[in-house]
Chain A
Amino acid sequence: MSSRRARSRQSTSSSRITDEQINDLVSKLQAVLPEARLHGCLSMQVSAAKVLQETCNYIRSLHREVDDLSERLSELLATTEASSAQAAIIRSLLK
């Protein structure tokens, strides 16, 4: 989020476009977050700080999920034969 000071230094026309773009992206980001449904689409003026915080939390939770899934896959593949593991992957490719 560029500070208002920096934006005011630019010409007013370009800063208006930038503001619009920023608001657009922030609302898109909000729509992607899992709690978007909880806050409801009624709240139009969700603070940017809140959206950023939720995004940080969401990214962290996604990282944890990837980590967890990798571990589970690792445990599964440890006791699976090479050929059947690859057959399973090919099967999910075909689904």
Chain B
Amino acid sequence: MLSRTHFIYISACVAAFSPSCLLSFSVAAMQVTEAFKHAFLKQMLLGFQASAVSTNSMGIQERKNAIKLSADVAMAVFRGSRKWTRGLIAGLSEKQQNRSFLQLILGEQYERRLMKPCYSSWKIPRCRTIVRRSLRVCCRRQKKKKNQSGVLARTLVEKRTQQLKRLVPGGESMDGLSLLDETLDYVLSLRAQVDLMQSLLTTVESSKLRSHSKRTLTERKASYVGK
């Protein structure tokens, strides 16, 4: 478990290394900016501490879920208040076991969110038959003008949009333009999350190898001296 001194050390590091200029979450060319990296890893560390990931008593699946939860919360917390981040937190809160963790990490922010009505669960009522029927009616009205491929394309877009709504957290209650906007933001955040987790994995792996080789070297030395 992290002691208080560790936490102070981390905060100092983050403060020392974060750039003084405003963080820019550039849509056109998303690079993993230093501030994002620090904030994300700091959140993950807090998450690990909160869910006691480093204790050996956890099973692999349990630990994996805790890590994934920490990563998702870190991603949402950093990005701030957006439709998909609110949808993500709401989705995570639906599971009873996540609530105490979310409470710990988000603090009073979380309680405020619970007070607000949950918009993410509001789905735009959409009956497929009605949509198809209305498309057919529209097609009949402008039969001469419209070409078949246009109708097909629109139905396809409709289908794909439904799929996307299911994938993006909180997507069910989004429409048209905002869905595209949120999707773009979500994809960029996911990419950054993957990059950071990858680099974290590499660091842990390399540090393990280093400590392992150090240990074998010490053991070899000790056995040699003993002879």
Provide the residues of chain A in CB contact with B44, threshold 8 Å: 89
Binary B-proximity of A1-37 (CB < 8 A = 1, otherwise 0): 1111100000000000010011001101101100000
Residues on the B chain within 8 Å of A29, using CB:
180, 183-184, 187
Q: Which of A65, A76, A77 contacts B194 (CB 8 A)?
A: A65
Q: Judging by beta carbons under 8 Å apart, are A66 and B17 in contact?
A: no
Say whether B201 contacts A72, CB under 8 Å.
yes
Interface of B is mostly: helix
Q: Tell me the minimal C-beta distance from A3 to chain B in angstroms.
A: 6
Select from chain A the residue with minimum beta-carbon distance to B168: A59
Q: How far is the CB of B147 from chain A (nearest CB, A)?
A: 13
A48 touches B157 (CB 8 A): yes
Q: Residues 133-171 of chain B: 1 if any A CB is under 8 Å from the residue's CB, otherwise 0?
A: 011001000000000000001101111110110011000
B177 at the interface (CB under 8 A from A): yes
| A86/B45 in contact, CB under 8 A | yes
Q: Judging by beta carbons under 8 Å apart, are A56 and B203 in contact?
A: no
Tell whether, in the assembled complex, residue B167 and residue A60 are in contact, meaning their CB atoms are under 8 Å apart: yes
**For B164, what are the chain A residues with a Cβ–Cβ distance below 8 Å?**
52, 55-56, 59
A76 interface neighbour in B6, B55, B205, Cβ under 8 Å: B205
Which partner residue on chain A sits nearest B203 by CB separation? Answer: A92
Contacts of A42 in B (CB 8 A): none
Q: Which of B160-202 touch A at CB < 8 Å?
A: 160-161, 163-164, 167-168, 175-177, 180-181, 183-184, 186-188, 190-191, 193-194, 197-201
Q: B residues engaging A (CB < 8 A)?
A: 1-2, 6, 9-10, 13-14, 17, 27-28, 30, 37-38, 41-42, 44-45, 48, 53-56, 58, 60-61, 63-65, 67-68, 71, 134-135, 138, 153-154, 156-161, 163-164, 167-168, 175-177, 180-181, 183-184, 186-188, 190-191, 193-194, 197-201, 203-205, 207-208, 211
